[in-house]
Each structure stands twice: as C-alpha cells, then as structure tokens.
Amino acid sequence: MMNNAPCRILLVEDEESDASLLRQSMKSAPTFTIDWVTSMAEAQLYLQKNVPDVVLLDLTLPDSSGLQTVQDGRRAAGALPLIVLTGHNDPEFALQTLESGAQDYLVKGEFCADDLIRSIRYAMSRAKLEQRLIEAEERWRFALEGAGDGVWDWNVQTNEVKFSVRLKEMLGYADDEIADHLDEWMRRIHPEDLPKVQADVAAYFAGALPAYFNEHRLLCKDGRWKWILDRGRVVSFDAAGEPLRMIGTHTDIDMLKQAEEMLNLSSTVFNTVDEAILVCDADNRIVMVNPAFTRVTGYQAEEVIGKNPHLLSSGKHDADFYRQLWAQLTCTGSWCGELWNRRKNGELYVEWSTIKQVRDPHGKLTHYVAAFSDITLRKADEENIRHQAQHDALTDLPNRVLLIDRLRQALSLAKRDKMHLALMYLDLDQFKPVNDTLGHAVGDLLLQEVAARIRSCVREADTVARMGGDEFVVLLTSSEDQRDALTVAEKIRIALEQVFQISGARLQISSSLGVAVYPEHGASEHELLEHADIAMYYAKQSGRNQVRLYEPEMMPVQDK
C-alpha cells in the first residue's frame, strides 16, 4: 500500500472510550477511514456487505472472547488482513493469535499512531502477498521452477515425496542424490527449526491454518545451513476428509535472511551507539533520531520528528558559517567540524559533527545523516590545559609563551598600521625580605595583589604577564608615543608603592620599570624585551622605585 493511498478500516471494539481514542489518534493520518462495530455479530454482518482493507479486532467482545474471537474473525474476514487489539501483554497468547490467522498483535496503550499505521501497512502487504501466493499456487499447482523455486509433491499416506531438480540444486545436490521420501527432507531440517515445522504441518492438517507456511533452515551438501521459505496446500482429500496429497514450494530466502540480520544489526547499532544520530529527509526535516540524540540534546524523538534541525541552533554561528557548511555538503556530499548547539534546557554545548548526503541508486538525494558527539567536557579540558600552558599558576597572568605570541601579533599589526606600541619590564624592589621574614605564603599573596594592581592600571586590550619570581612585563598595544608609555609606567609605579594589607600585615614595596617603544627602540620582540630589560636594570641601579626609558647609550646587562 502506498503511504498516501486511502485505507478503509473495520474496527471491532465494544469499548467506546478505546474506539474513540484510536479514532482520535488516527486523525493525523487523513487517508485512513474507520468504520466501527461493537460485536462479532455486527462484524460478520458488515463483512457480508463490505470489503475493508484491514480489520482491527478487539479480543474481548460481548459475543466472543479469546482465541475464539480470532478464529471467528478470521473466518468472517476471509483473506483480509487481521490485527488483534488487546489490553493484555501476553507473549505466549500473542503467538497463539498469530498462529490462528492474525497478521499482528498490538497491546492497547503501548502503541502510537505511527506504530498502528506501520502494522496496518505490514498486515495489508503480507495479506496481499499470501493471497496472491495462494491464488498462484492453486492456479498453476506450484509450477514455479521457472521462477527459481523448488517444488515438492507429498503423498501424505505413503510419505513418498517427489522433489524437483531445482529444489535439490538449491541445496547443492544432483538429481539422484536425494531419495523420494519424506525423511530426506525432515533429516535435513535444522534441529532448532524441526519442532515448529512439524507443529505448523499438524496445525494446517487440523484446519487451524489456511495454508502451510514456514521458514526454516535446511542442510546443504557442503555443510552450510540455508534459509528457505516452505509453503504448501493439500490438493486432494480422502472420503473422510483426511489429506492425501500436498504440493508445495521451497524458496531460497537465505540472502533475505542475511539482509534481515544486517538490518537488525544496524538497528541495534543505531539504538545503542554512544554517538547521536539524526536523519533528515531531502527537505531537511527530521525523520529519525536515536536514543543517544535524546541523551545529548534532551529532546525526545516525538518532539523533533518533522522539524528542522535548526531548532538546536545556539545562535553562535553566523549566516556565513552555515552558507559555507551547505556549500561543502552540496559540493562534496559531506561535512565535518565543530558545531555549537543548544539543548532543550537552554544549555549550550559543542559537538563534533559529521553530516553526509544519502542518494538512491539513480543519484537522487533522499536523506541527510548527521552523527555527532558531545565534546563540551573535552573542549573544556583542552581549554583548561591550554590556559595552564599559557598562564602563570599563581597570578593567572599570561606567561612568557603567551606574552611572546601576543607581542609578535601586536608588532605585526603595528607595522601594518604604522602604530606605536610599548613594552615595560618591571621588577619589584624589596620583595625578597618579605619572603624571608613573613614566608612564601605571604609572598605569594603579595604577588597576586601586585598583579591585580598592575592590571587595574592598563586597558583590557593590553597584556600584563609574569615572567617569573618578582618580574612582570606589560605590553601596551596602541601607545600614542613615548610620553604615553611613560605616563602608564608612572601610574603603575605609584600604585605599587602604596601600602599592601596582606594577612594582617602592612607591607610597602616599590618597583623599578624599564620602557622600550616600537619602532624607536626595536623592531622585533627580542629587541624590545632586551631593551626594556636593560632600561629596568638602569632604573634599579639608579636608586630603584623609578621608571627609565631605554636609550641607545645604555649598555647590555651582561656587559655591566
């Protein structure tokens, strides 16, 4: 049945509330119409005058219950697909209803409209297939050799069986390698499948099944087990109504079974992998998500099916980002990278996502599949490690590595824009006595306070770095001129000579600062650092607690 083809349903249900609930849930499928009766008698009368596409049958009716309802319903429905509805989840009883002729068994309250629609479509497809099979087998007496099926003809009284050449070839045997006896078939059936085969044959002979129908494994000549679909009907009876002759076919369904196993495996993988999976149709509407998707995003499947994945958007990516993403996806068929998205609870997260196009054998785009992992914690760990590698552990200021990187970038911009920048080398005066008299714990607290005061004297765009010990470097990225740099340096010097209150102690220190300015005092990070260091040395040598601007006449420290 096509998904949009009209479907007429006969609902046999005596509980008005259950019938109303089912009809209400099916309103989302406008191609389905439901006719409702409340008893088996009404159903039988209805089916004498009407031919619905499928029958939905409640097990407990005013005039019928249990398996009797299924058997009565099957007789009344003939070859129509029959789906049993019940309020009890009993796997053993469900199997009995299927063996009595129902195509499916659904427990009330445990299925949604989509489940019911799939069940109806499956039942209709299977019923049509079975009916066509019966008609073809009756018309041509199972003469299906040309279609690749094997044929068997069983004398039920003598157990003599004629096996066709094709049937024997299917198992790898020559025509003379299998004798004409029932034992030749029975002894090749897989031991796990044999009881069900015997039960199905007995049930068919007893009239409990409209035809014999079984899937089982047969032993091939090379020792492999092959799945076959075994179907048959009695074509002659004796005067007492006992079967005399039965004709049937063997269909090789080994590849189909392998495909089913792969589908089952794929389904298991889809539902158990840690990676979230989202499937969209060609119009980019979500058609399927797996449990991991729910764990990552917080959205249940029913909350996102039919919607655009944009509902996950965090707002952190601009339109150009998505244009480039779609351009690559369209051009190459795939895209991978980091995406910032938003969970149902509003929390932002970052994912590593891979998106691929899916095309049919003719090259037509049918779906998009996205698989992604939540890497928020990993990114946080990476960022923490990166931060630790680039910052001083005590003051959380940039360290030498980050300073050099920022200085290199600042010089590049300054050269391009013909701007000045300034570098200050700062060393604390009288810091060692604090450590010696009050201990390193107090010294560490003092360094943290020093870092805070220096930061308060510069702009957010500037960089304050700790080089180690009691040495700091300040990078002013857009200094107007040498006077501007000296003004900031003096502001820092004054801030640091003010009293510090540390652990109940009043501490007073000072600082010596050396200043070097680009481009007057150097064109590289090495020159600027060296010249600022030299100027700082001269500040200390000249009495400390002062600022000195680098002058070319100043000799390198190592030559002093």
Residues 6+ apart with CB under 8 A from 50: 10, 35
Report the DSSP beta bridge partners of residue 56: 11, 83
Roughly what angle, to the nearest 10 degrees, separates helices 482-496 and 440-456? 140
Q: CA-CA distance, 144 to 170, in Å (whole number)? A: 14
Give, in order, the Cα–Cα distances in Å from 145 to each of 11, 97, 221, 318, 403.
41, 34, 21, 64, 83
Q: pLDDT tens digit string along 337-365?
A: 999 999 999 999 999 999 999 999 999 99
**Could you list the pLDDT tens digit for every one of the 560 residues in the chain?**
445 678 888 999 998 888 888 888 877 777 888 899 999 999 999 999 998 989 988 988 999 888 898 899 888 888 888 988 888 888 888 888 888 888 888 888 888 878 888 888 888 887 777 777 666 555 554 455 545 788 899 999 999 999 988 899 999 999 999 999 999 999 999 999 999 999 999 999 999 999 999 999 999 999 999 999 999 999 888 878 889 999 988 999 888 888 888 888 778 878 888 899 999 999 999 999 999 999 999 999 999 999 999 999 999 999 999 999 999 999 999 999 999 999 999 999 999 999 999 999 999 999 999 999 998 888 887 788 888 888 999 999 999 999 999 999 999 999 998 999 999 999 999 899 998 889 999 999 999 999 999 999 999 999 999 999 999 999 999 877 899 999 999 999 999 999 999 988 899 999 999 999 999 999 999 999 999 999 999 999 999 999 999 999 987 755 44
State phi, psi for 400 to the nearest 5 degrees: -60, -40
Inter-residue contact 325 to 301 (CB < 8 Å): no
- Using left for φ > 0, alpha for ψ between -120 and 50, and beta otherwise, residue 398 falls in beta
DSSP 189: B
Nearest to 516 by CA among 534, 504, 500: 534
Which domains are assigned to the chain? Answer: 7-138 (3.40.50.2300), 145-258 (3.30.450.20), 274-379 (3.30.450.20), 391-559 (3.30.70.270)
How far is 170 from 162, CA to CA, in rounded Å? 15
Nearest to 353 by CA among 382, 312, 318: 312
Residue appearing with tokens 């070319």: 552
Closest Cα partner for 463 from 420, 422, 431, 498?
Answer: 422
**What is the spatial distance between Cα 347 and Cα 342, in angstroms, rounded to a whole number?**
6
> Using CA atoms, how far apart are residues 401 and 392, in angstroms rounded to an integer?
10
Residue-wise pLDDT tens digits, 528-550: 999 999 999 999 999 999 999 99
Q: How many CA atoms lie less than 13 Å away from 92 in the CB half-sphere?
A: 0
Q: CA angle at residue 389 from 387 to 391, to 5 degrees?
A: 60
Its pTM stands at 0.45
Give the integer Cα–Cα distance in Å for 95 and 97: 5
